[in-house]
Structure 1
């Protein structure tokens, strides 16, 4: 898996997310697995499935890049949703998460391999749907945001598409500002050095993105 190319293709579904000291602090407290924190947004019985989904979106790689589980991204996303996202967005997202979890329980077993296979199939369905399907789902979501359609009337595919896109955005954002990723895999300069002016990223940092710092 080429993590660099994958990150270029991913966007955020809930708008631009600013890096703030509060969010950096949340990330520093997130070195934990799904089983050892008390969720504020998610229900406890949703954590296992959501952790698997995040691991499908951001798995660890053979060349040593840690994935969602190792970085504790589920805990960060839970805290972010509870503390930052608006009530209207939370209501819609909670409705969507409940729907995808219900579908998972109906269509998969408790076997870890089977469950991961299910989420991989669903991720492919919604991340590689093609322009035609994505445009149709986005049109439904637009009518929802405009208030001409309520969330109970939206199609399952459009609802699930929104959830998958949103959590992909949250996961990539949390990955991007994670301290471990910043210091070990991006260009990290705690005390910025000389101003090099208009030079290419390849020349300035050997092609590495700049890491955020608090």
Structure 2
């Protein structure tokens, strides 16, 4: 299945909701900001450069534009700063650092600027391509860690491999979410009807929307 078909069939399975003034304003601002002049608000400049590479590894250009072409990295940066609670921000930064440090160790590089797309791709695959059983164990450890952070308990730490999984899975979810809420995907890939027309209660989905998920 190509990406266009996958996006058409994908509902809000990630559990995110976007129909709020704050989130819609984030999406709107990402449309107007020039990437070449981008200075991250939440991440460091170095992390921002790594973020661009990572989102494009998750969603490279195929029959639809890449994630960075739709400014998904800007969306993630703004969402992290403006919407995430302080505890989630701390966890995201901590796991980002753990992921980067592990990528440096595995690649033998000394600086994040030296990490190539191949290096980052290897680290993403290593973090995400694990068994379902290991995913469940990691999710349990992450839940315990998040609860400890919320309770300001610093005695609980994440193992490096679990931290890498936490960051990679979080980033993948945000990347897909940001991509789906972009103007391009909303208008050109998903079922789009800015001015609702007639209500057809018993209409066939395949016939009415070509089996596409609805846009915003």
What's the counterpart of residue 25 of structure 1? 25
What's the counterpart of residue 89 of structure 2? 90
Call closer, same or farther: CA 1:10–1:129 in 2, change over 3 Å. farther
C-alpha displacement of 1:176: 1.1
What's the counterpart of residue 192 of structure 1? 196
What's the counterpart of residue 179 of structure 2? 175
Call closer, same or farther: CA 1:156–1:9 in 2, change over 3 Å. farther
- 1:138 paired to 2:135: no
What's the counterpart of residue 72 of structure 2? 73
Does the CA contact (< 8 Å) of 2:91 and 2:146 recur in 1? no
Q: Aligned partners of 1:165, 1:191: CA distance in 2, in Å?
A: 35
Does the CA contact (< 8 Å) of 1:144 and 1:151 recur in 2? no
C-alpha displacement of 1:53: 0.8
C-alpha displacement of 1:34: 5.4
Call closer, same or farther: CA 1:35–1:103 in 2, change over 3 Å. farther
- 1:208 paired to 2:209: no
C-alpha displacement of 1:33: 6.5
Q: Aligned partners of 1:9, 1:182: CA distance in 2, in Å?
A: 12
Structure 2: any 5+ residue segments left out of the alignment?
A: none
Aligned pairs (5 A) from 1:104-143: 104-108=103-107, 115-143=116-144
| TM value normalised by structure 1 | 0.84
C-alpha displacement of 1:92: 0.9
Q: Aligned partners of 1:195, 1:104: CA distance in 2, in Å?
A: 52
* CA distances 1:104-150 after superposition (whole Å, capped 9, x unpaired): 3344458x997211222222223321112112211211221332974
